[in-house]
Amino acid sequence: MLRGLYTAAAGMTTQQRRHDTVTQNIANMNTPGYKQENSVQRSFPEMLISMTGGNPDNPDRTVGKLNTGVFAEESLSPYIQGALKDSGQATDFAIQSNISVNDPATGQPMAFDQAGKFVNANGEVTYRPEAFFTVRDNNGNVRYTRDGHFRVNGAGALLSSTGSAVLDTNGNPIQLTSAVSALKVNERGELVDSQSNQTLGTTLGISVIDRPYQLVREGNGNFRLNDTDGATARMMTANDAVSVRQGYLEVSNVDAAQSMVDMMAALRAYEANQKVIQFYDKSLDKAVNEVGRV
């Protein structure tokens, strides 16, 4: 009889984690470059149950399969392009990424869905590569971000909003030699002279991640690459459909309406599982305190 109690408790824990994920998305709706998280629920392995007692030769002793609960396995981030907002600041940058990949079977570009995923006829899944700014944190670790809200310190170094050094295509911190008001970057991320429009030989380090779903969120808009499964990062090339917009910021890709629906659904499911536990508690109370006295 307690099997249902455990199933309801697992459901409450799962809905609580789902609710926490949605509230985190809502709290970061105004965070530049934030990518929302979606909680993925998965059921426990099914059990094959049979009748107990009776004739052991009964061919119908098998009752069937039973699922014993659900759990929140992980949180995945769809790297959907966020809208661009005009900030008017010379040190603000936004990435527009629409990289295409050809299907080896047909030679035609893959038709990625809104989540950036393509499934071929054999069921093989391919994710759209995504572009990120490349930064180096205070511990010397290379990280990736879509938050282009940069600033320049007193020494002329270009820093991210969290104080990480913004890197160029050679992996070196970008150092400005002129005033911030003269900073100009073209669509390829190249720093140019504001007077002559000549390139200065320095380019923002735009990294292309071939398997963005393997990025690990570290907080403050930074990601690290989990390369245990062969994921790689490379610098943007001229063939990549990636452009940089100066004076703009990419807003978060959180869907406010859907987030509210998900939060209410998690709340209702949590309450339903809570009611089941209360009913089990009443049944156990009756079995122990009333039936036991008869």
- Provide the pLDDT for residue 3: 78
- Provide the pLDDT for residue 282: 87
The one-letter amino acid at 62: T
**What whole-number percentage of the chain has pLDDT above 90?**
40
Q: What does the alpha-carbon distance between residue 279 and residue 16 come to, in Å, rounded to a whole number?
A: 20
Reported confidence tier of residue 60, pLDDT bands at 50, 70, 90 = low
Domain-by-domain residue ranges, the chain?
3-49+66-76+255-293, 84-250
Res. 53: pLDDT tops 70: no
The more confident residue out of 271 and 104 is 271
Q: Burial of 138 by CB count in 10 Å (0-12 exposed, 13-18 middle, 19+ buried)?
A: exposed
Res. 46: pLDDT tops 80: no
- Provide the pLDDT for residue 156: 86
- Provide the pLDDT for residue 270: 92
- Provide the pLDDT for residue 119: 87
β-bridge mates for residue 55, sequence order: none
Q: Closest Cα partner for 62 from 43, 47, 48?
A: 48
Tokens of 9: 């408790």
- Provide the pLDDT for residue 204: 93
Which has the minimum average pLDDT: 79-83, 88-92, 103-107, 273-277?
Answer: 103-107
- Provide the pLDDT for residue 130: 92
Res. 287: pLDDT tops 60: yes
Q: What is the pLDDT of residues 164-223, one digit of tens each?
A: 999 999 999 998 877 666 788 999 998 887 777 777 788 999 999 988 888 888 888 899
Q: What is the pLDDT of residues 90-114, one digit of tens each?
A: 899 999 998 988 888 888 888 888 7
Reported confidence tier of residue 158, pLDDT bands at 50, 70, 90 = very high
- Provide the pLDDT for residue 164: 93
Which has the minimum average pLDDT: 5-14, 94-103, 224-233?
Answer: 224-233
Q: What is the pLDDT of residues 238-266, one digit of tens each?
A: 889 999 999 999 999 999 999 999 999 99
Q: Closest Cα partner for 89 from 154, 136, 152, 156?
A: 152
Reported confidence tier of residue 45, pLDDT bands at 50, 70, 90 = confident
- Provide the pLDDT for residue 294: 56
Q: What is the dihedral of CA 74, 102, 230, 38, to 10 degrees?
A: -10
Element spanning 101, H or E: none
Q: What does the alpha-carbon distance between residue 118 and residue 208 come to, in Å, rounded to a whole number?
A: 18
- Provide the pLDDT for residue 71: 80
